[in-house]
Amino acid sequence: MNDKTFHINRRHFLMSASAAMAYSSLGAYGLDLLFRDTPLRVGLIGAGWFGKNDLFRLSQVADIEVVSICDVDQHMLDDAVAQAQQWHKSGKTPRKYNDYRKMLAEKDLDIVIIGTPDHWHALQMIEAVRSGAHVYVEKPISVDVIEGEAMVAAARKYNKIVQVGTQRVSTPHLIDAKKSIVEAGLLGKISHVEMCCYIHQRVDGNPPLEPVPDWFDYEMWCGPAPKRPYDGLPHIRWWRAFNEYGNGILGDMCIHMYDAVRWTLDLGWPDRVRSVAGIYVQKDGKSNISDTQHAIFEYPELNCVWQHRTWGTSADPDYPWAYIIYGEKGTLKASTRQYEFIPQGDGGRILKEAITEGEQFPADIGDNGRATSSAPPSRWHMLDFLAAIDKNERPVSDIEQGHISTASCILANISAELNGRPLQYDPKTRTVVGDEEATRMLAREYRKPWVHPTPENV
């Protein structure tokens, strides 16, 4: 994308989308977020596809100066720097870093975006708020429960705004479903929710071992996580195949839908979590994450049930990644593409389809694949983040909400590892009630010399 195309695209957004967002969600104040006396100084840690996507979306809704970019892959770093020069008015070349600690030691950033793999989120977010920056961190926020507790404590201690990339809560048609269907009472009493992902997200295979290229710092990429034998660039989605660096399909896909359900129904921590999982079909590759999993998040008179299969067909081709809320008066089915209300008995069916990013912002198409076939939530999510910073208020996906959704998914994985044992987590004591074995599993062992964060040492 050249500079001219970018400015046309940004103007198109300001003229069409921001007005609706500003007046419906942020009021007239929202327009002030888009025009500042001085640009926001922004740094990016993790310059892969998702990190650049988040940086690009922020650049489309606010005047920014991309001051610093950090990545352990020199090729990705160089590419991100070249692109970022087009994303702010000055055209300055961002500083390059291979170590995020050196970047944050400058203490000259208003916002830090974290787009690294999951095993890095906690240390980088904590160091970023210590440096004085507000943070946009991708989901899931952590790879273990205690990391998440430390991240919440750090955000509060340093009084910084932390927005989590759970963008379903900023998706226009899902906002409408919450308001027009759930809050309007069309469902009546709700006592069951189903969530699913039947998209074949599980990367697998048997690549051979090979030398680490000289332009990639594999030692730093692994950081506090275990160092697997090198069999290709892990950050081209290969890392998601391993529990060493993430939490499988629950950490990648369930968190989005579970977070959206909690927000829609105003749910906090579940009373209990239980799960069964395994590799039942795809046994030939190296991946150690489950290809099949069933999890239940229990609330009073309400079960939220998750199911994923990375093989076979979808139960409903229109809702391969979705949530379904069952009420006594009807059913609400929702995905990234649409929602549908089906009344019990007489009454009219309601269907609302989303306008996709490619349809609403055609100038994005072909821009390194950033335009998607889903509803465009990222711009709204960034606007909410900016408003929270200016007002010193918690954003819609505040770090605490991201922690609850992340930790609940992690607890489901722990339950599966313990043969489906029900787990009751107490966030006050940071223990699994009556279960010492499960409590020990709330914090993973870090690879030396990295030190695991806790709420007390942030």
Instruction: Give me the average pLDDT of each 10-residue run along the chain (458 residues).
Output: 44 46 44 68 95 90 94 97 80 93 98 98 98 98 98 98 96 96 98 97 96 98 98 95 98 98 98 98 97 98 98 95 98 97 92 80 55 68 96 97 98 98 98 98 98 98
pLDDT at position 23, please? 36
pLDDT at position 27, please?
Answer: 45
Q: Which of 162, 164, 169 is nearest to 375 (CA)?
A: 169
| Longest CA pairwise span in the chain (Å) | 67
Exposed e or buried b per residue across 55-92, where buried means at least 16 C-beta atoms within 10 angstroms of its C-beta:
bbbbbbbbbbbbbbbbbbbeebbebbbebbebbbeeee
Q: Indicate left, alpha or beta for 144 from its phi (over 0: left) and psi (-120 to 50: alpha).
A: beta
pLDDT value at residue 356:
72
**Domains 3-169+378-398 and 172-355+401-440 fall in the same CATH topology:** no
Looking at the domain 3-169+378-398, which fold is it?
Answer: Rossmann fold (3.40.50)
Is-contact 325 193, C-beta < 8 A?
yes
pLDDT score of 378: 85
Q: Please, are residues 63 and 89 in contact by the beta-carbon 8 Å criterion? A: yes
Could you count the other beta carbons within 10 Å of the beta carbon of residue 392? 9
| Sheet architecture: strand order including 338-343 | 272-278, 292-299, 302-309, 190-197, 321-327, 330-335, 338-343, 350-353
Contact 144, 443 (CB under 8 A): yes
Is the model's pTM score more than 0.85?
yes
Domain residue spans of the chain? 3-169+378-398, 172-355+401-440
Q: What is the pLDDT of residue 375?
A: 56
Q: Among all chains, which residue has been given the structure tokens 């001219």?
A: 4
Question: What fold does the segment set 172-355+401-440 form as a domain?
Answer: Dihydrodipicolinate Reductase; domain 2 (3.30.360)
Give the integer Cα–Cα distance in Å for 310 and 293.
10
Question: How far is Cα 309 from Cα 66, in angstroms, rounded to an integer?
Answer: 40
Tell me, what's the pLDDT at 89? 64
What was the pLDDT predicted at 140?
98
